Structure 1
Amino acid sequence: MIRAVLIALTLVLGSQATAETRVPQSQAEISLGFAPLVKQAAPAVVNIYAKIVTQARARTPFSNDPFFDDFFRNFANPRPRVQNSLGSGVILSADGIVVSNYHVVGMATEIRVVTTDRREYGAQVVLADQASDLAILRLEGAEDLPYLNLRDSDEVEVGELALAIGNPFGVGQTVSSGIISGLARTGTGTGEGFGYYIQTDAPINPGNSGGALIDVNGDLIGINTRILSRSGGSNGIGFAIPANLVREFLHQARDGAEAFQRPWAGMSGQPLDGDLAASLGMDLPEGMVISELHPESPFAKAGFRVGDVVIAVDGEPVNSPSEMVFRMTIAGLGDTSEVVRLRDGKREVIAVAMYSAPDEPAAEPVQLGEKSRLPGLTVARINPKTITELQLPLSAEGVAVADPGPYGARVGLQRGDVLLAINGDVVMQPADVAEILKESGRWMALDLLRRGQRVSLRARL
């Protein structure tokens, strides 16, 4: 136990850039613990208070009835409701650039940021992405703020000491210690995230979201984002978004991006298990086998095909679709990545271009006007861009619903539905929808594909 403490203190006290690694020299140094490290890093972690306005439906006598509640879902008058969100953030630059979680500030109408010395700032979201659960804020009128440096999160190792800093349960800034418990955790989160995380046993609780996970040098390893818990409290399994992804967000925010852009893979795949690896002649299961490939995919254009195994991207192993998305995302747009491919037992390094999903052929979105049978309905041609935005199957073709609008939602349409026919007339392009609806009578029949299943909707207009 004493030896472990001495090792920990050696790392902490030797973490200063100008100091050498050494054992504690006195009882006073031993009693300091993590105090020097906390004094260095804590001022760069802020509390965030966000106000979110949501539209809540008015209660009806049928609200508790599963059937009638669903039936009246789109007819009850919505009422605005204010929700207050509490979370944390990390300052990344002296001029007031802050990173937090999307689920803390992404939908906020008003954001207030409070530093450890009780200074308060208004803040605006400059870049946010729900899928990655990250948001970049700019503080109004901020200057000369303390900030944390980003560490290369690919260098982080299991077993390293780590500190989590945030504002759990709104009690004020709190520091908890632990180690890095795991890397490249996928499929362990909830919500909209891609599920690629650093795992730590440093206690993380509600309110820690958006806070810092730092190493013994005071550098940012990741942004605390979620826990694995049935009770809602920390039980030693917490997850942080790696700093390398934060760095890409910071770059795009500084470049003025209005929406976060990530390279398009244009493929689907699955991890290799023992049996699948053996069938491919591999001694050990590693990599991800390609099961579907869009013809416009950068991998298809680089010569990949279904059945190939992707082993690594830019020197880092890839064992799942989530890892593939992460590796491509931090590679950034406009460059190429070195991808290791396994085919017929032979490994080869291939350069793959990193570009966003192309809008070709043009999506040509059409929004129906007020005089239409379904005013507000927006449809678009399916192409790689709409496939990505609407999360459609790679094989999807035709015309998709980008926004059902209020009337389309009432008849049962959903975002991402692929329209096949209206009143028996086949839908070939977006403009067809408006033309067909002009001729429809009091009844309307919609045939569509929803998550691969054929669905028929009938409605009286």
Structure 2
Amino acid sequence: MIRAALIALVFAAPLAAQTQVPSSQAEISLGFAPLVKQAAPAVVNIYAKIVTQQRQRTPFSNDPFFDDFFRGFTKPQPRVQNSLGSGVILSADGIVVSNYHVVGMATEIRVVTTDRREYNARVVLADKASDLAILQLEGATDLPFLDLRNSDQVEVGELALAIGNPFGVGQTVSSGIISGLARTGTATGEGFGYYLQTDAAINPGNSGGALIDVNGDLIGINTRIISRSGGSNGIGFSIPANLVREFVNQAQQGAEEFQRPWAGMSGQPVDADMAASLGMELPLGMVISDLHPASPFAEQGFKVGDVITAVEGQVVNSPSEMVFRMSVVGMGGRAQITRLRGVEAADVLVKMMAAPNTPSADLLQMTENSMLPGLIVARINPAVILRLGLPLSAEGVVITNPGRNGARAGLRPGDVLQEINGNPVTNTVDVPTVLAESGRKVKVILLRGGQRLTLQFRL
């Protein structure tokens, strides 16, 4: 099959870490036809329908004052959006991986195979931050599927094929090479920004499609491009297969949402000046700039100023790489973290755990009869910090939902309450008590993005 064809093409297996280009015109003329015949049937077209509620426009829709006034006078109208993308079959019983931005919010999903079989599909597990979604095809059996390769073994210069449905023209194959590894902060969108880069043409509709190697194994899920025109400029990005593998594992274990280990830290890449100040010969790794007391890293003796250079032997040079590497390791167990402190390097085992929801968040929602109906507040703990993206040093009470009146007054999710009408707020139960004594005028002092703000409004 494919491996026999690869022998004819004189390609060494990826595990040998040696690939050779065709050495004769006869070998070149063989092309990728055997590879495509084997791999293409496992790549599917996805048609997703998304129903959203959209308010009717009024003459005051763009007016910052009257838009709020007329908000309740127009009824939301359902609007149907159709999304076209690709997916990759990963098991004979119909496990399919695609992008979150293709199917994550879909109300109806239809999957079509290359032999024109059609299946309804449901989302089993989806994560906006990683831009990945796992689907289950209904009634599927004996489907062709692709094997996942260890994407940490992929090398720059390897041949790669991108398979998908660009612009809805039908399944298309484009060839190229792996142009870069561990690309971070170069692609746009919701993803964490850790990608394989390829010059194989990727266009709209290729999202969720396969990036395969010369063995026909999946090395990435095509997801983003850099382009001013909207078409391929030879700079495309794929989510590495190792992260896809962890998604499939969690989906098969019945996870309702993707769980990634919590580091409880913030950091930044080590640059040349920082390396010199830390006594390092070369700038490498990520220096810890803040550490939560409940962090599993703090438990193992890590400190602010320590440099993390690797997770499970894989180099990390930025916070996004750290998040990716910990996500690939998965929940439970321990990961080997390489730490540099001064001139001393050490390998430390650290628990891969979720952000603890302790002390209790004590969620409290204001009733419809209160001054701020629908307002929801919570006590800050590590889980709340992670969910709302708060600073690691945050403490006290935070708004998770401002409610309709609170939103109009300027309150936002993530606002950390400090005072209401001069009364300090230290617990969630303080909020309804203080508001009940406030009268119609309210003065709130809060922290937003590290800045102290004062809001005054009348209810």
Provide the C-alpha distance between the structure 1 equivalents of 2:266 and 2:59, rounded to a whole number of angstroms.
46
Provide the C-alpha distance between the structure 2 equivalents of 1:266 and 1:140, rounded to a whole number of angstroms.
39
Per the alignment, residue 441 of structure 2 pairs with 443
Q: Which amino acid aligns with 1:122?
A: N
SS of residue paired to 1:430: coil
Provide the C-alpha distance between the structure 1 equivalents of 2:391 and 2:264, rounded to a whole number of angstroms.
10
Provide the C-alpha distance between the structure 1 equivalents of 2:74 and 2:454, rounded to a whole number of angstroms.
25
Q: Deviations over 1:244-275 (max 9, x none)?
A: 00000000000000111010011111111111
Q: Which amino acid aligns with 1:94?
A: A
Corresponding position: 1:411 with 2:433 = no
Q: Deviations over 1:56-103 (max 9, x none)?
A: 232122335577668867875432211111111111111111111111
SS of residue paired to 1:149: coil
Q: TM-score, normalised by structure 1?
A: 0.93
Provide the C-alpha distance between the structure 2 equivalents of 1:124 and 1:284, rounded to a whole number of angstroms.
49
Q: Which amino acid aligns with 1:278?
A: A
Is the CA contact (8 Å cut-off) linking 2:6 and 2:215 kept in structure 1?
Answer: no
Q: Which amino acid aligns with 1:218?
A: G
Residues 396, 26 of structure 1: CA spacing in aligned structure 2 closer, same or farther, 3 A cutoff? closer
Select 2:239's aligned residue among 220, 241, 253: 241
Q: TM-score, normalised by structure 2?
A: 0.93
Provide the C-alpha distance between the structure 2 equivalents of 1:418 and 1:362, rounded to a whole number of angstroms.
17
Provide the C-alpha distance between the structure 1 equivalents of 2:281 and 2:23, rounded to a whole number of angstroms.
51
Q: 1:22 offset after TM fit, Å?
A: 10
Unaligned runs of 5+ residues in structure 2 are none
Q: 1:191 offset after TM fit, Å?
A: 2.2
Per the alignment, residue 428 of structure 2 pairs with 430
Per the alignment, residue 319 of structure 1 pairs with 317
Q: Deviations over 1:150-209 (max 9, x none)?
A: 000000000000001111111111111100000000011222211100000001111111
Provide the C-alpha distance between the structure 2 equivalents of 1:169 and 1:13, rounded to a whole number of angstroms.
32
Select 1:132's aligned residue among 130, 133, 157: 130
Corresponding position: 1:266 with 2:264 = yes
Quote the sequence identity (%): 74
Instruction: Please give the residue correspondences for 1:353-432 in structure 2 after superposition, counting only pairs within 5 Å.
Output: 353-432=351-430
Is the CA contact (8 Å cut-off) linking 2:371 and 2:436 kept in structure 1?
Answer: yes
Number of aligned positions between the proteins = 452
SS of residue paired to 1:362: coil
Is the CA contact (8 Å cut-off) linking 1:90 and 1:98 kept in structure 2?
Answer: yes
Provide the C-alpha distance between the structure 2 equivalents of 1:405 and 1:126, rounded to a whole number of angstroms.
30
Q: 1:323 offset after TM fit, Å?
A: 0.5
SS of residue paired to 2:367: coil
Residues 401, 66 of structure 1: CA spacing in aligned structure 2 closer, same or farther, 3 A cutoff? closer
Question: Structure 1: which 4+ aligned runs deviate by more than 6 Å?
Answer: 12-17, 21-29, 70-75
Corresponding position: 1:256 with 2:254 = yes
Corresponding position: 1:195 with 2:181 = no
SS of residue paired to 1:328: helix
Is the CA contact (8 Å cut-off) linking 1:48 and 1:87 kept in structure 2?
Answer: yes
Per the alignment, residue 223 of structure 2 pairs with 225
Is the CA contact (8 Å cut-off) linking 1:402 and 1:415 kept in structure 2?
Answer: yes
Question: Once structures 1 and 2 are overlaid, which stretch shifts more, 284-293 or 374-383?
Answer: 374-383
Q: Which amino acid aligns with 1:126?
A: V
Q: Which amino acid aligns with 1:362?
A: S
Select 2:279's aligned residue among 281, 287, 312: 281
Provide the C-alpha distance between the structure 1 equivalents of 2:207 and 2:105, rounded to a whole number of angstroms.
15
Select 2:203's aligned residue among 188, 196, 205: 205
Q: 1:227 offset after TM fit, Å?
A: 0.5
Select 1:179's aligned residue among 174, 177, 180: 177
Is the CA contact (8 Å cut-off) linking 2:10 and 2:22 kept in structure 1?
Answer: no
Select 2:117's aligned residue among 110, 116, 119: 119
Residues 270, 75 of structure 1: CA spacing in aligned structure 2 closer, same or farther, 3 A cutoff? farther
Provide the C-alpha distance between the structure 1 equivalents of 2:423 and 2:10, rounded to a whole number of angstroms.
71
Question: Once structures 1 and 2 are overlaid, which stretch shifts more, 431-440 or 323-332?
Answer: 431-440
Corresponding position: 1:145 with 2:122 = no
SS of residue paired to 1:99: strand
Q: 1:403 offset after TM fit, Å?
A: 1.8
Provide the C-alpha distance between the structure 1 equivalents of 2:240 and 2:63, rounded to a whole number of angstroms.
44
Q: Which amino acid aligns with 2:290?
A: E
Per the alignment, residue 3 of structure 1 pairs with none
Provide the C-alpha distance between the structure 1 equivalents of 2:21 and 2:414, rounded to a whole number of angstroms.
60
SS of residue paired to 2:444: strand
Provide the C-alpha distance between the structure 2 equivalents of 1:335 and 1:79, rounded to a whole number of angstroms.
49
Unaligned runs of 5+ residues in structure 1 are 1-6
Provide the C-alpha distance between the structure 2 equivalents of 1:191 and 1:392, rounded to a whole number of angstroms.
21
